[in-house]
Amino acid sequence: MFGQALHPDSLFPRLIGHWVLRGTIARQQTVHDVTFEWLLGREYVQMHDVSRKPALNGRTYEAVVLFGRDPQTGAYACMWLDNTAAAAFDPQGIGRGSVAGDSVPFLFHYTATDSFHTTFVYDRATDSWQWHMDNDSSGVRRPFARVTLTRR
C-alpha cells in the first residue's frame, strides 16, 4: 500500500484544514477547534479536536484521531484517542467504514450488543461537514452528538 495514490472517491482532501465545530454533544452546546492534516506522505489524516470550554469536571476535551484508507478496497478506519479514558490502543477505539456518497459512516464495536456510530457528511454547497454520533444498544440508536464543522 505504501506510496499508492488515494482512490478518486476519497473524502480526505475535503477534510484538510482548520474548522470550527458547533453544535450539541451529550445534550450540551459546545464549540471546538478542529484541525485535519496529512501525515506520512498523505497516507493518513490526523484530526486534532480541542474544546474551547472546559467540561463540568474542569478538563478541556481533547482528541487525536487517525484516519486511514485502504486504496485497494476503499475501506476507511479510524483510531480514536481522547482524554476521557486512557487505554492501550483498545480495539474498541477503532472504527471502520466505507464511503457512501458524500459521507463516511464509522462503526465502533464495544460489545456484542453495544456500538457507537460516527458519521461525517460533506455538504458540497457550503464546503462544510455534518457530524452525527449515536450510541447503539441492541440495535436502538440514540443521538449523542449533532455538530457542524465550518472552515475557520
| Domain ranges, ordered by start, for the chain | 12-151
For 103, the enclosing helix (H) or strand (E) is strand 103-109
Which H or E element spans position 145? strand 140-151
Residue type, 104: V
Q: Give the DSSP H or E segment for 18.
A: strand 17-25
Q: 91 is written with which cell numbers?
A: 480495539
Grid cell 475557520 — which residue?
152
Residues of the chain with confidence (pLDDT) below 50:
1-3, 6
Annotation: CATH topology of 12-151: Lipocalin (2.40.128)
Helix (H) or strand (E) holding 13: helix 12-15
Whole-number pLDDT of residue 57:
82
Residue 50 has a pLDDT of 97
pLDDT the model gives residue 3? 46
